[in-house]
Chains A and B, each alone.
Chain A
Amino acid sequence: MQKLFDHTVSTVALVLASLPEFVIGVILVIGLASVFLHLLPAVSFLAPGVSPWDLPNQLVLPVTTLVLVIFPYIFRMTRGSVIETLESDYVEMAHLKGAAPTRALLSHAVPNALAPIIQVVGLTLIYLAGGIVVVEYVFNYPGLGRELVDAIANRDIPVIQFIVLILTAFYIVANILTDALTLAVSPRRRNPRSS
């Protein structure tokens, strides 16, 4: 049963990791917004000055696409990292001293497995900030990446500089945050003697 679950989710993750972003987006549009069902708007109409939160149904498809795009990376990293810690001596020790399997997993294995997961989440955040031009283009969403590409195409230097500045600031903040969070959550790093 567990093996079947692992196999199924791993296969889904492999397929999702293989599909280009715009293919995932267009498949969602075909399935939910145009050909088969008409549940959600296929493109976004955001007038200048309108907050994205005012029209939440326009956010559903772009957000779902991005969730499907980043899911396999976080899934694979989490799976690999947890498997690695589950095979470690201290988790075996926890099992041997009679800890319940859930407790061994949650309070012994997971804290030590969190560090690489947080790193991947940090990388994903950086990617989401500037690298989703294609998804923005599919849903006609006025995002930063699209603005940057348009500005490059139009040789609009001040806009390019401004967006690059924003993205750089975001990269730095995201990097510092992930590093700080990694230090805070991993038990091994909390003790200065063992680096």
Chain B
Amino acid sequence: MRTSKTGGANEGAKLRRKFEAWGLIRRALRTTRGRVGAVLVALVLIVCIIGPFIAPHSPTAFVTTPYGPPSSVALLGGDNLGRDVLSRVLCGGWLLLLSALAATLLGVAAGSAAGLTAAYSGGRVDGLIMRCVDVLLAFPALVLALLLVSVAGPELWLVVVAVALAHAPQVARVIRASALDIAERDFVHATELLGERPRRVVSREILPSLTSPLMVEAGLRLTYSIMIIAGLSFLGFGLQPPSPNWGAMINENRNGLGVGPGTNNWGVMAPVFLIAVLTVGVNTLTDTVARVSLGIQRSSDSQPVADPDLVLVTGGPA
């Protein structure tokens, strides 16, 4: 293979090749579990992306009677106000997915920046950052988000920021722990001796070696983001009616559940099904990636990877 001048740099390059993001995903996709997860995620992605273009009606148009049964006009029947359930389901996903992605990106970026800074600076900076993290961790994620949203109003960007804020401290902890170990490696010391600036050492040497904990963390946070944002929409925060939204649809339509013949249960069942498929898919994929990287680590003992069981536990319920 490629050889480099210093043994230290070689070690860093080797680490990076082994834990390259695509490599990990490809390995995960070779397992049955990983494939199942990927198919589930792809299914919902397709619905979210092409849904708005193939929706037969406007999601806010009244096309049938309230809780009207499935017919040729409305394939999945009407919702509580007589709007087409199918169109609302097709149009109500992409914003949930987009806001969950944004919240995850924001939270993981902020959290890993804080964690890396704390790990590499050490001393007083480390103490200061980690104590702030401890304070933020004392709030349950959902309660923190609810607090922000109910004080400042149900804006979507606020929900995204609140969820990101709830994620950041947990990400910071995980990334700091992994980075502490990497910062002690020879290849990092070698670049330091070459006179690289600290920022470059962190971004070029340490960060690329943290691919696998970062990926597991991002996947886990994405699952929680979807859960919390869907839960907030269910409670009536987040996107406001009449715009379609899976979480809110469940709440709007559940009063009509099973109220005798001629009612329509699809208004609840379809969004419940899609949210379930999405979260189960993302979580299964994440779990597989965690297991795959743990497997590589056990065979070579080269990089800190959190035990998938423990990773998923420490996240805690919501």
Which of A's residues lie within 8 Å of B, judged by CB? 14-15, 17-23, 26-27, 29-30, 33-35, 38, 42, 69-70, 72-73, 76-77, 79-80, 120, 123-124, 127, 130-131, 133-134, 137, 145, 148-149, 152-153
Among A14, A42, A69, A148, the residue within 8 A (CB) of B257 is A42
Q: In the complex, how many angstroms separate the beta carbon of B306 from the nearest chain A beta carbon?
A: 11
Chain B 20-33 interface 0/1 with A at a Cβ cutoff of 8 Å (1 = within): 00000000000000
List the B side residues contacting A134 at CB < 8 Å: 142, 231, 234-235, 318
A33 CA / B121 CA spacing, docked (Å): 56
Q: A131-B318, A152-B147 are in contact. Are A38 and B258 (CB under 8 A)?
A: yes
Closest A residue by C-beta to B142: A131
Q: In the complex, how many angstroms separate the beta carbon of B142 from the nearest chain A beta carbon?
A: 6
Q: Report whether A19 and B231 are in contact in the complex, using a CB–CB cutoff of 8 Å.
A: no
Among A18, A26, A38, A127, the residue within 8 A (CB) of B282 is A18
List the B side residues contacting A76 at CB < 8 Å: 309-310, 312-313
Which of B's residues lie within 8 Å of A, judged by CB? 140, 142-143, 146-147, 150-151, 223, 226-227, 230-231, 234-235, 247, 250, 254, 257-258, 265, 268-269, 272, 275-276, 279-280, 282-284, 287, 307, 309-310, 312-313, 316-318
Q: In the complex, how many angstroms separate the beta carbon of B205 from the nearest chain A beta carbon?
A: 32
Among B147, B250, B280, the residue within 8 A (CB) of A22 is B250
18 residue pairs A–B, Cβ–Cβ below 8 Å: A14-B287, A17-B283, A18-B276, A18-B279, A20-B275, A21-B318, A23-B275, A35-B258, A72-B312, A76-B310, A77-B310, A120-B313, A127-B140, A127-B317, A133-B143, A133-B146, A134-B234, A134-B235
Q: A73-B316, A134-B235, A149-B150 are in contact. Are A80 and B142 (CB under 8 A)?
A: no
Q: Report whether B257 and A35 are in contact in the complex, using a CB–CB cutoff of 8 Å.
A: yes
Q: In the complex, how many angstroms separate the beta carbon of B106 from the nearest chain A beta carbon?
A: 20
Q: In the complex, how many angstroms separate the beta carbon of B308 from the nearest chain A beta carbon?
A: 9
A130 CA / B143 CA spacing, docked (Å): 9
Q: A35-B265, A42-B257, A131-B318 are in contact. Are A30 and B272 (CB under 8 A)?
A: yes
A17 CA / B314 CA spacing, docked (Å): 12
List the A side residues contacting B147 at CB < 8 Å: 152
Q: In the complex, how many angstroms separate the beta carbon of B170 from the nearest chain A beta carbon?
A: 13
A54 CA / B223 CA spacing, docked (Å): 38
Q: Report whether A29 and B254 are in contact in the complex, using a CB–CB cutoff of 8 Å.
A: yes
Q: In the complex, how many angstroms separate the beta carbon of A8 from the nearest chain B beta carbon?
A: 13
List the B side residues contacting A33 at CB < 8 Å: 258
Q: Report whether B250 and A26 are in contact in the complex, using a CB–CB cutoff of 8 Å.
A: yes
- Most chain A C-beta atoms within 10 Å of own C-beta, residue among B254, B310, B313: B313
List the B side residues contacting A26 at CB < 8 Å: 250, 254, 268, 272
List the A side residues contacting B279 at CB < 8 Å: 18-20, 23
Q: Report whether A69 and B317 are in contact in the complex, using a CB–CB cutoff of 8 Å.
A: yes
A22 CA / B280 CA spacing, docked (Å): 14
List the A side residues contacting B282 at CB < 8 Å: 18
List the A side residues contacting B257 at CB < 8 Å: 29-30, 34-35, 42
